[in-house]
């Protein structure tokens, strides 16, 4: 048990350090000061109550899209549709908040969040159903549904929600907003909202689901060996659909919380939201552990928020942040290289499962 914990922490830490080293080397090559830039990054993400609030707020959608990806991955499916599901969730929540604004406060929030999450769930359940009954590769269907979501939401916003000639919907009423004066005053008027607390709770729920429930056990068994699970009497079809449904509900919830707490409206966008893909990276860094996702989303969020201030205080392009995050995940992928190095220096280390999942 100790060995397992050791490996779960050592490789991510080595990868994170290596990722930052790669970023530093690139900055040095192009004549930027890595120490100064990383310093700005740190100040921009944790330098004060406001930046901490922003970093925590930005974690919310990352946690939820990552959890969504983790649930499908544990079941052995590759749900690239996080972006589309997030977008549908955002859309669903804002539509309800705008159209049913006569509902009483708390009730309106709950209905809005639920409709967003459900819309995200429906979106990925389509892929789950097709996979379970027709055997269609979920990789293709989720990619295709991403684009359908993008064009549909753009169309709906432009024709149903926005005023003539505008590209954004109206702002939702204050009672539907997840922003809170309490959280804002704690973090000197950052945009931190209740969604963050909810996201942390969902992490805990998914951890319990994976590790302490029968359904979660079945999900993981099917991910490890579908046929063996079937012989053991598990209902593979039902679990596939359920896994994809939960995965989409989580990503949709991410969109709903971001829509109600962060954006407060919805606009036409040219491309799919990046957060769906970032969520995949967050989940991979945490090796699909729901509690690990909290830590890895904190890192990603800090890099993103800090990266914004990096370009303000220095002239290094912000893209360096994405290079660092990309490199971190690359090092996670090639952890076998670290194993070789550790072996070479005869550091005692236990045998790890190399296959990954």
Q: Which parts of this chain interact with another protein (CB under 8 A)?
A: 26, 30, 78, 80, 130, 134-137, 139-141, 143-148, 151-152, 154-155, 270-272, 277, 280-281, 284, 315, 317, 319-323, 325-327, 329-330, 332-334, 336-337, 354-357
**Would you say 107 or 155 has its CB closer to another protein?**
155
**Residues comprising the chain, all counted:** 357
Q: How far is the CB of 198 from another protein (least distance, A)?
A: 27
Q: What are phi and psi of 286, to 5 degrees?
A: -85, 10
* CB of 18 closer than 8 Å to CB of 327: yes
**Would you say 347 or 355 has its CB closer to another protein?**
355
**Would you say 11 or 196 has its CB closer to another protein?**
11
**Would you say 187 or 304 has its CB closer to another protein?**
304
How far apart CA 118 and CA 123 sit, in angstroms, is 8
**Would you say 82 or 261 has its CB closer to another protein?**
82
Q: How far is the CB of 99 from another protein (least distance, A)?
A: 20
**Would you say 202 or 321 has its CB closer to another protein?**
321
* CB of 310 closer than 8 Å to CB of 44: yes
Q: How far is the CB of 271 from another protein (least distance, A)?
A: 5
- HEC profile of 119-132: HHHHHHHHHHHHHH
The partner residues of 169 in beta bridges, in order of sequence, read 162
Residue 77 DSSP one-character state: -
SS3 category, 76: coil
**Would you say 62 or 178 has its CB closer to another protein?**
62
C-alpha separations of 206 from 160, 255, 306 in Å: 35, 18, 29
How far apart CA 69 and CA 86 sit, in angstroms, is 12
Q: How far is the CB of 223 from another protein (least distance, A)?
A: 14
Q: How far is the CB of 39 from another protein (least distance, A)?
A: 20
**Would you say 194 or 352 has its CB closer to another protein?**
352
* CB of 124 closer than 8 Å to CB of 251: yes
Q: How far is the CB of 166 from another protein (least distance, A)?
A: 17
Q: How far is the CB of 179 from another protein (least distance, A)?
A: 30
* CB of 36 closer than 8 Å to CB of 314: yes
Q: How far is the CB of 52 from another protein (least distance, A)?
A: 25
Q: How far is the CB of 135 from another protein (least distance, A)?
A: 3
Tell me, rounded to whole angstroms, the distance of Cα 110 from its chain centroid.
21
Q: How far is the CB of 170 from another protein (least distance, A)?
A: 21
SS3 category, 316: coil
Residues in contact with 216: Cβ distance below 8 Å, sequence separation at least 6, in sequence order: 208, 209, 210
How far apart CA 286 and CA 117 sit, in angstroms, is 23
**Would you say 50 or 152 has its CB closer to another protein?**
152
Residues in contact with 108: Cβ distance below 8 Å, sequence separation at least 6, in sequence order: 96, 97, 100, 101, 173, 175, 176
**Would you say 126 or 219 has its CB closer to another protein?**
126
- HEC profile of 235-255: CHHHHHHHHHHHHHHHHHHHH
Distance in Å from the first CA to the final CA of the chain: 17
């Amino acid at each position: 048990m100790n060995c397992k914990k050791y490996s779960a922490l050592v490789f991510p830490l080595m990868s994170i350090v290596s990722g930052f080293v790669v970023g530093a080397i690139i900055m040095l090559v192009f004549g930027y000061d890595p120490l100064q830039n990383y310093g700005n990054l740190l100040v921009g993400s944790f330098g004060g109550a406001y930046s901490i609030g922003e970093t925590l707020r930005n974690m919310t959608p990352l946690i939820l899209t990552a959890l969504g990806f983790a649930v499908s991955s544990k079941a052995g499916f590759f749900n690239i549709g996080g972006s589309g599901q997030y977008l549908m969730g955002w859309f669903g929540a804002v539509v309800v908040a705008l159209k049913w604004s006569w509902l009483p406060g708390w009730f309106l929030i709950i209905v809005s969040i639920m409709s967003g999450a459900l819309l995200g769930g429906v979106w990925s359940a389509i892929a789950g159903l097709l996979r379970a009954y027709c055997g269609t590769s979920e990789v293709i269907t989720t990619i295709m549904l991403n684009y359908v979501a993008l064009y549909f939401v753009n169309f709906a916003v432009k024709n149903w929600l926005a005023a003539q000639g505008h590209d954004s919907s109206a702002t939702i009423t204050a009672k539907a907003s997840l922003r809170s004066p309490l959280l804002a005053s704690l973090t000197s008027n950052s945009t931190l909202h209740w969604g963050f607390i909810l996201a942390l709770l969902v992490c805990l729920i998914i951890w319990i689901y994976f590790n302490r429930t029968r359904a979660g056990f079945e999900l993981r068994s099917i991910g490890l060996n579908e046929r063996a699970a079937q012989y053991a009497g598990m209902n593979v079809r039902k679990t596939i659909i359920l896994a994809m449904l939960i995965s989409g509900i989580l990503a949709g919830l991410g969109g709903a919380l971001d829509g109600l707490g962060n954006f407060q409206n919805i606009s036409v966008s040219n491309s799919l939201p990046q957060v769906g893909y970032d969520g995949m990276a967050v989940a991979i860094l945490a090796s699909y552990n729901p509690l690990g996702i909290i830590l890895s989303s904190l890192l990603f969020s800090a890099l993103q928020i800090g990266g914004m201030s990096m370009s303000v205080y220095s002239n290094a392009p912000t893209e360096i942040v994405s290079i660092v995050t990309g490199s971190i995940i690359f090092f996670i992928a090639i952890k076998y290289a670290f194993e070789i190095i550790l072996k070479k220096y005869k550091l005692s280390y236990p045998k790890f499962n190399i296959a990954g999942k």
